């Protein structure tokens, strides 16, 4: 008798292995499985002591004890411009039995499992896809001593060193790696803590100091500080801003532990198309502890990745660092909320506890904002991680051409060295609307206006 036949007889999918084992041990003197199995399903307590069917009966009883209906916790949201899928995804996450708090940021749009811009607090559980594929994707801003007037004029003839620093200082594209790798102390850490981190170390060596594809970028721009901060006087400065994460090693780590989470998840979660990306790892389990260790190593690797990029790019540009601001998004933190220890997943959301510094970017032509968190408990001390997509990459490529956007970038005095049509400003929400929607989450303490932008090209050319 196969799985499909057993399910048709009323056996829950989680109990199929025990049903098969019971059938295989049934003596010939007993009636057939097609008659016995429905009887055990209907009244498992009657068969608990049965020498042939007892284990199957106990599995059924345990399944029904744990199979309580999914309830839903409440969540808070900021902003109004949400697609229906992101709303559905945060509501699905709120149904998880481990969910204890949730919030939706104003840049939210649909992702896998938890929406981008989704925040979810879980009790004693971590969700690999709640963190995301690009573990510890993050922002870093370096404020430098370079001449701001040169960048404000943005004359290609006068900015050749800055252009070259972006073109030579990092690599863009999926799978790209250095032929002559950079060095960093993160590579001296113990990468044997899990099987997957041991496996990805060589990839990490080659990809340290690289930027990937998609919405990742490295760009020069003008930083404006209205008031003195970070040990600097009020005024304008040249800044270097980057956005990237843990590259291939992070993606492979996510995939490995998502697969493990699904193997141990209840059928009603892993077999539900809307919930299957929300399978979790119990933090009392070996797999949960392994993921936590691997995730944090990926966080340190992502931080090192930015450090290497900024070190190399500023060196090529002849710049000196005056101050830095940086933050993760796509990560999970063990925090205390409402007196309870919970694992807070911020998938495309910026930590915004009281006093926390961060950078929230707009798009290749509009401002990024330097922010200081207010510690709003309703948002689980979180804010947006950017402007958020207004449409998918596929839709953007179908809708836009470089004609109008080339003029738009020129009007904004922005030079795009490389980038794709799926990343033009029109593909994103208005960053000023997003910031206006979260005034109770962060204070703006400065802004960065992009001037020279480097991203992963898509074969089209903005400068033609």
Q: Is 361 annotated as a binding residue?
A: yes
Tokens of residue 381, six digits: 């001390």
For residues 440, 446, 449 and 450, what is the CA-based torsion angle, rounded to 10 degrees? Answer: -90
Tokens of residue 304, six digits: 């090192």
CA 221, CA 213: separation in Å to the nearest integer? 20
Asked if residue 279 lies in contact with residue 270, where contact means CB atoms within 8 angstroms, the answer is yes
Q: Is 329 annotated as a binding residue?
A: yes
Q: Is 218 annotated as a binding residue?
A: yes
SS3 76: strand
Q: Is 216 annotated as a binding residue?
A: yes
Asked if residue 288 lies in contact with residue 126, where contact means CB atoms within 8 angstroms, the answer is yes
Dihedral sign (CA 451, 455, 457, 460): negative
- In whole angstroms, how far apart are CA 162 and each of 152, 169, 211, 451? 13, 10, 17, 10
Q: Is 219 annotated as a binding residue?
A: yes
Q: Is 217 annotated as a binding residue?
A: yes
- In whole angstroms, how far apart are CA 379 and each of 101, 337, 346, 394, 418? 9, 11, 11, 31, 36
Q: Is 385 noted as a catalytic residue in this protein?
A: yes
Please state the length of the chain: 464
Q: Is 184 annotated as a binding residue?
A: no
Q: Is 243 annotated as a binding residue?
A: yes
Q: Is 362 annotated as a binding residue?
A: yes
267: left (phi over 0), alpha (psi -120 to 50) or beta: alpha
Strands (DSSP E) contained in 32-98 are 76-77
In DSSP notation, 294-354 reads: HHHHHHHHHHHHHHHHHHHHHHHHT--EEEEEEEE-SEEEEEEETTEEEEEEEETEEE--T
Tokens of residue 229, six digits: 């901060």
**Active-site position among 385, 408, 411, 432:** 385
CA 386, CA 380: separation in Å to the nearest integer? 17
SS3 105: strand
Closest CA to 368 of 245, 250, 215: 215
Encode 17-29: b = buried (16+ Cβ within 10 Å), e = exposed.
Answer: ebbbebbeeeeee
Known binding-site positions for GMP: 215-219, 329-330, 361-364, 385-388
Known binding-site positions: 134, 215-219, 243, 329-330, 361-364, 385-388
Q: Which residue numbers are catalytic?
A: 385
Known binding-site positions for Mn(2+): 134, 216, 243, 329
């Amino acid at each position: 008798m196969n799985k499909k036949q057993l399910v048709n007889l009323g056996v829950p999918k989680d109990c199929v292995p025990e049903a098969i084992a019971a059938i295989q041990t049934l003596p010939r003197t007993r009636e057939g499985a097609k008659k016995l199995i429905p009887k055990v399903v209907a009244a498992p307590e009657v068969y608990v002591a049965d020498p042939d069917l007892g284990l199957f009966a106990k599995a059924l009883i345990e399944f029904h004890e744990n199979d309580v209906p999914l309830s839903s916790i409440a969540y808070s949201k900021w902003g109004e411009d949400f697609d229906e899928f992101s709303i559905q995804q945060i509501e699905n996450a709120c149904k998880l039995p481990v969910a204890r708090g949730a919030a939706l940021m104003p840049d939210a749009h649909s992702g896998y499992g938890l929406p981008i811009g989704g925040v979810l607090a879980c009790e004693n559980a971590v969700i690999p896809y709640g963190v995301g594929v690009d573990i510890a994707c993050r922002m870093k801003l370096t404020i430098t001593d370079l001449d701001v007037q040169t960048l404000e004029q943005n004359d290609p003839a006068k900015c050749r060193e800055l252009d070259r620093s972006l073109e030579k200082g990092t690599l863009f594209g999926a799978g790209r790696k250095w032929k002559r790798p950079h060095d960093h102390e993160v590579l001296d850490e113990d990468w044997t803590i899990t099987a997957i981190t041991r496996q990805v170390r060589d990839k990490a060596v080659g990809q340290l100091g690289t930027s990937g594809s998609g919405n990742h970028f490295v760009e020069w721009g003008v930083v404006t500080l209205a008031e003195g901060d970070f040990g600097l006087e009020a005024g304008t400065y040249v800044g270097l801003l980057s956005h990237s994460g843990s590259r291939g090693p992070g993606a492979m780590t996510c995939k490995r532990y998502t697969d493990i989470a699904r193997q141990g998840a209840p059928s009603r979660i892993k077999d539900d198309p809307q919930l299957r990306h929300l399978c979790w790892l119990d933090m009392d389990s070996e797999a949960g502890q392994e993921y936590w260790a691997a995730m944090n190593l990926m966080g340190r690797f992502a931080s090192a990745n930015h450090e290497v990029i900024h070190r190399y790019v500023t060196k090529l540009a002849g710049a000196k660092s005056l101050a830095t601001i940086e933050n993760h998004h796509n990560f999970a933190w063990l925090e205390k909320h409402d007196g309870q220890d919970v694992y807070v997943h911020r998938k495309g959301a910026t930590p915004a506890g009281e006093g926390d510094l961060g950078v929230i970017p707009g798009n290749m032509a509009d401002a990024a904002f330097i922010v200081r968190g207010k510690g709003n408990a309703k948002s689980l001390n979180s804010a947006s991680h950017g402007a958020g997509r207004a449409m998918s990459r596929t839709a953007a490529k179908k809708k836009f051409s470089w004609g109008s956007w080339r003029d738009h970038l020129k009007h904004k005095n922005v030079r795009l060295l490389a980038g794709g049509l799926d990343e033009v400003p029109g593909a994103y929400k208005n960053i000023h609307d997003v910031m206006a929607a979260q005034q109770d989450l962060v204070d703006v303490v400065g802004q960065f206006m992009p001037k020279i932008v480097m991203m992963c090209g898509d074969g089209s050319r903005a400068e033609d």
